Copies of this chain bind each other. A is one copy, B any other.
Amino acid sequence: MHAADRLFELARERALLTSAASVLGWDQETYLPLRGVAWRARQLAWLSARAHELATSREWLATLEEAEVQNDGADPVLSANLREFRHETDRATRLPVELVARASETSSLAKQAWAEARKKSDFSIFRDHLDAMVDIAREKADHWGYATEPYDALVAGYERGADTAKLSSRLDPLRDPLRELAAQAVARSAEHPVDLPDGPYPADTQRRLNREIAESVGFDFEAGRIDTVTHPFCTGLGPYDTRLTTRYRENDFTDSLFGVLHEAGHGLYDQGLPAPDFGLPAGSPISLGIHESQSRLWENHVGGSRAFWERWLPRAAALFPCLAPLGLDDFLAAVRRAEFSCIRVEADEATYDLHILLRFDLERRIMRGELAVDDIPAAWNDGFRELFGFVPPDDANGCLQDIHWAMGGFGYFATYSLGNINAAQLCAAARLDPVVSAACDKADYLPLLGWMRERVHRHGSVHFPDDLVRRATGADPSTADYLAHLKRRYL
């Protein structure tokens, strides 16, 4: 047997285990009884320890090395698989077991403290925990290694081919135009504010509409499903098993609907990955920035479009009679309403990236040692004022709002903006295809999905994100399409 074949066998075996853990994780968010949590935590810890053993076993390491030696570079997919396995393996083996255990324990305590701190809006409760998480992030970065600064090593865990300098060069120039655009969009919305009727929107009827829409954009319900949770997400539990989740507000059906379009975007990418390569890089998403490009594509470029609602508003009004008096223009003005808000996860498309730019800037400074943990609340408020023109009323609405730092997720936030940027560039390129464009204008999105399948999904992790975008669109990654899209939509 060639070493690569054995390597793939081992990787698929590991995928059986990690995907089993994903089922348990999904169940924990959806259906696990309250008192079952402690045992579930033990199950997941056990499975994750076994997965780590497999990912760092002597046989795995030796087989990977042998496959690398045997590889003549002729097969780009094989080379990409080996490249990604090497990346993952190095990251897994470079962290001492002691550090992994300490990080996990520190993070558990940090999450608890963060929840309490946010509830009481008292940064002092979280302060020491955040300090410990920052130290751990730096330690990890030192073990992983980096070319220029520790933050590079953290970013590399979420976005292949990216580092601090590249993210800075992509995001920093957005600062002024986005600030200006957001301010104008907010001012325009304030001139003619439109509210949607506040219901009733029964959850069961929302569920029905969401399902019709998810089906119409191509989500395969024979290979996936939608369940109800507190914090929506999308997770792939195996080839042909993609689970979306949502929640329902009975006074606002658009919250769940846009949420489902967002998660369905993640799910469509998942369903478009080559199923036979499940467990191999060639069958896995390449990065969070690409994953988020697919969710934002369906949420914003599709779900925010006039053509989409020309088709779906009549259906929604048939299901929710309170919508009947509303014209399409007013409906669009309502769902596209731009407003400054303190909370990132509630932000609209026009103001969302300002939240990311703030966090990216703070993280970069924290990791460079330029910003002490004690100074974060003040720095948050200063940065927020510069971008939004006002200061959050308290830290719960400021630096305590996101769980990411309590989880040690430094380097993650920027991928949200990369997703927005990539979504716009991919969508603009796809619409240059007259078939895709004509279909989109009639709210038929299967040609658009076909384009994404062909140019993005089916490649898995073969190409780095920038290269994938370049191959798909024929142009270097750029923020031009994104700014143009926001201007068209909001100004």
Is B240 touching A36 in the complex (CB atoms < 8 A)?
A: yes
Is B46 touching A238 in the complex (CB atoms < 8 A)?
A: no
Return the contact of A24 from the options B23, B40, B220, B240 (Cβ within 8 A).
B23
Q: Mark A34-51, 1 if CB is under 8 A from B, else 0.
A: 111011101100110000
A259 CB within 8 Å of chain B: no
A241 CB within 8 Å of chain B: yes
Contacts of A46 in B (CB 8 A): 13, 16-17, 20
Contacts of A24 in B (CB 8 A): 20, 23
The smallest beta-carbon distance between A27 and chain B, in angstroms, is 6
Interfacial residues of chain A within 344-386, with CB under 8 A of chain B in the complex: none
Contacts of A21 in B (CB 8 A): 20
Complex formed: what's the CA distance from A225 to B221 in Å?
A: 24
A222 CB within 8 Å of chain B: yes
Is A241 touching B32 in the complex (CB atoms < 8 A)?
A: yes
Contacts of A227 in B (CB 8 A): 31
Complex formed: what's the CA distance from A280 to B227 in Å?
A: 34
Return the contact of A33 from the options B42, B221, B278 (Cβ within 8 A).
B221
The smallest beta-carbon distance between A427 and chain B, in angstroms, is 28
A239 CB within 8 Å of chain B: yes
Contacts of A36 in B (CB 8 A): 223, 237-241
Query: What residue of chain B has the Cβ atom nearest to residue A36's Cβ?
Result: B241
Number of copies: 2
Interface residue tally for chain A (C-beta within 8 Å):
36
Complex formed: what's the CA distance from A117 to B19 in Å?
A: 35
Complex formed: what's the CA distance from A54 to B213 in Å?
A: 47
A419 CB within 8 Å of chain B: no
The smallest beta-carbon distance between A465 and chain B, in angstroms, is 27
Is B223 touching A31 in the complex (CB atoms < 8 A)?
A: no
Contacts of A17 in B (CB 8 A): 46
The smallest beta-carbon distance between A72 and chain B, in angstroms, is 31
Return the contact of A225 from the options B13, B31, B239 (Cβ within 8 A).
B31
A224 CB within 8 Å of chain B: yes
Q: Mark A241-260, 1 if CB is under 8 A from B, else 0.
A: 11000000000000000000
Contacts of A33 in B (CB 8 A): 221-225, 240-242
Is A39 touching B222 in the complex (CB atoms < 8 A)?
A: no
Query: What residue of chain B has the Cβ atom nearest to residue A238's Cβ?
Result: B39
Complex formed: what's the CA distance from A283 to B460 in Å?
A: 46
Is A43 touching B27 in the complex (CB atoms < 8 A)?
A: no
Complex formed: what's the CA distance from A239 to B237 in Å?
A: 24
The smallest beta-carbon distance between A205 and chain B, in angstroms, is 14
Complex formed: what's the CA distance from A240 to B36 in Å?
A: 5
| Contact flag A43-B238 (CB < 8 Å), given A27-B23, A31-B227 | yes
The smallest beta-carbon distance between A20 and chain B, in angstroms, is 5
The smallest beta-carbon distance between A226 and chain B, in angstroms, is 11
Is A35 touching B278 in the complex (CB atoms < 8 A)?
A: no
| Contact flag A240-B23 (CB < 8 Å), given A16-B46, A17-B46, A43-B16 | no
Is A240 touching B35 in the complex (CB atoms < 8 A)?
A: yes
Q: Mark A445-477, 1 if CB is under 8 A from B, else 0.
A: 000000000000000000000000000000000
The smallest beta-carbon distance between A474 and chain B, in angstroms, is 34
Complex formed: what's the CA distance from A47 to B18 in Å?
A: 12
Is B238 touching A40 in the complex (CB atoms < 8 A)?
A: yes
Binding site for B on A (CB under 8 A): 13, 16-17, 19-21, 23-24, 27, 31-36, 38-40, 42-43, 46-47, 220-225, 227, 237-242, 278
Given A20-B46, A36-B237, 20 further pairs, Cβ under 8 A: A17-B46, A19-B39, A19-B43, A20-B21, A20-B47, A23-B24, A32-B241, A33-B222, A33-B224, A33-B225, A33-B240, A33-B241, A34-B223, A36-B223, A36-B239, A36-B240, A39-B238, A39-B240, A39-B278, A43-B238
7 residue pairs A–B, Cβ–Cβ below 8 Å: A20-B24, A33-B221, A33-B222, A34-B223, A35-B220, A36-B239, A39-B238
